[in-house]
Amino acid sequence: MSNRILFLLVFCGFIASASAQSSFSRFSFSVGGGAGVGRGDVNSFVGNSYQGVVGGGVNFSRMFGLDAEYMYYNLSFRPSVIQNQSLPDASGNMQSVSLNGIVNVPFHSGRWGAYGIFGGGFYRRSVSARSQPLEPGTVCKPAWVWWDLNCVNNTIQTAQTLSSNSKDAGGYNYGGGLTYRLNHLGRAKVFIEGRYHKAYHSDVQTIVLPITVGLRW
């Protein structure tokens, strides 16, 4: 009799485990956008901005997942920087592709949930301005560092042209967010997330803090 009870308990355990595993979606997708808060030179040259993300990944369990993500971060220069640092029609952006681990908090409060996210990736920062020649002896401006000009002792040493420039670098990110399930039985969730991104560009580090509101399903 005891063996039958033990067998029944083990069998029920397997059924419960299979049911729990099937209750989460194997694949997930997300899209969102929002504000971007600059740090370091991004704060000095751009200030606050806007950004958008799209991603997709795989869930290993209800707690752990892996997500690939593309981010576009706008780098519109401050009007004062454009005017005072000789950057007519200046514009820019940073685009990134990252691979991130997601850890969902195992405890929920009704439809509310929480998660942490961290990962690394590839960052491309691009800037452009109306083309202008720079003669030797021209004093370099702080924002020109993103154009990778040859400045020695804060002065242009050889004739150069300021027009456009792109730089690639590796970097990392981390952050977390809150989710709200839209339907009690469905998988679609609204999320709000804060993240810290740092890219190690060879001139200066590029640091941004995107705050994103979006949909994950």
- Give 169-191 pLDDT, tens digit per residue: 999 999 999 999 998 657 899 99
CB count in 10 Å sphere of residue 47: 15
Strand partners, 171: 121, 199
Least Cα distance to 208 among 142, 91, 123 occurs for 123
Distance (Å) of CA 211 to CA 77, 125, 177, 191, 208:
19, 19, 10, 11, 10
Q: Please give the Cα distance from 67 to 30 (Å, whole number).
A: 9
Structure tokens at 118: 């961290």
| Spatial separation of the C-alpha atoms in residues 15 and 8, rounded to whole Å | 11
pLDDT in tens, 35-77: 999 999 999 999 999 999 999 999 999 899 999 999 999 999 9
Element (H, E) at 16: helix 2-22
What pLDDT band is residue 115 in, cutting at 50, 70 and 90?
very high
Domains, the chain, ranges and CATH?
A: 23-128+165-216 (2.40.160.20)
Please check the confidence at residue 15 and state whether its pLDDT lies above 80. no
